[in-house]
Chain A
Amino acid sequence: GAVVSQHPSWVICKSGTSVKIECRSLDFQATTMFWYRQFPKQSLMLMATSNEGSKATYEQGVEKDKFLINHASLTLSTLTVTSAHPEDSSFYICSARVMATSSTDTQYFGPGTRLTVL
């Protein structure tokens, strides 16, 4: 399947700092990327949908000023957690939509980034 990478795979930061997470589609172009958050032993919660060249669409309850998303190219989307606090500690997962044809329309997920805010 298609390959999606995330960097870093884990990060520890101090409260009040900002953290940037990168999501790259390695062998395909992704017009749409998604950012999810997953708490321990819970399902994935969609945070926002990111379309290349346009503003991200945030899900209800997700602070857009807190979680800045940039989708500057067809292979890269970034999530910046601004002024991180311990409650932002979580597993963040990105995915990229492959839509070569309608029959191959699928999302492939990155390996996730574990953020710990001290």
Chain B
Amino acid sequence: AQKVTQAQTEISVVEKEDVTLDCVYETRDTTYYLFWYKQPPSGELVFLIRRNSFDEQNEISGRYSWNFQKSTSSFNFTITASQVVDSAVYFCALRVYNFNKFYFGSGTKLNVKP
């Protein structure tokens, strides 16, 4: 069975602080994909990143970075120098190869205060 856990329900930081959103996943499949999506107050989910299980390289995109660790089944997301516009709910998701279904975590609400 597949499962994604985002233990942090809500995080509040002050602008310019760094913040890490945790994501732990469970699967017995060896080929799978991990995703992060951002859902701002408007409601639309914005695709941030996709990582496959064979690629453990960490990725950096501007102020965003992702740390994929198969040994701990984690795919954490760090925002450096957070901004108010980063305030949103962030979802981590898992999909196993050859299956359409996404398994979403419960989401982490990030509040960035000025």
Contacts and interface: CB of A to CB of B under 8 A. Distances in A.
A1 B44 CA distance: 13
B44 A110 contact: yes
Interface residues of B, number: 21
B105 A93 contact: no
Contacts of B70: none
A104 to B, nearest CB: 8
B43 A106 contact: no
Interface residues of chain A: helix, strand, loop or mixed (majority): strand
A32 B100 contact: yes
Interface residues of A, number: 23
B101 interface: yes
Interface of B: 33, 35, 37, 42-47, 50, 52, 91, 95, 100-102, 104-107, 109
Interface of A: 1, 32, 34, 41-44, 46, 49, 91, 93, 95, 97, 103, 105-112, 114
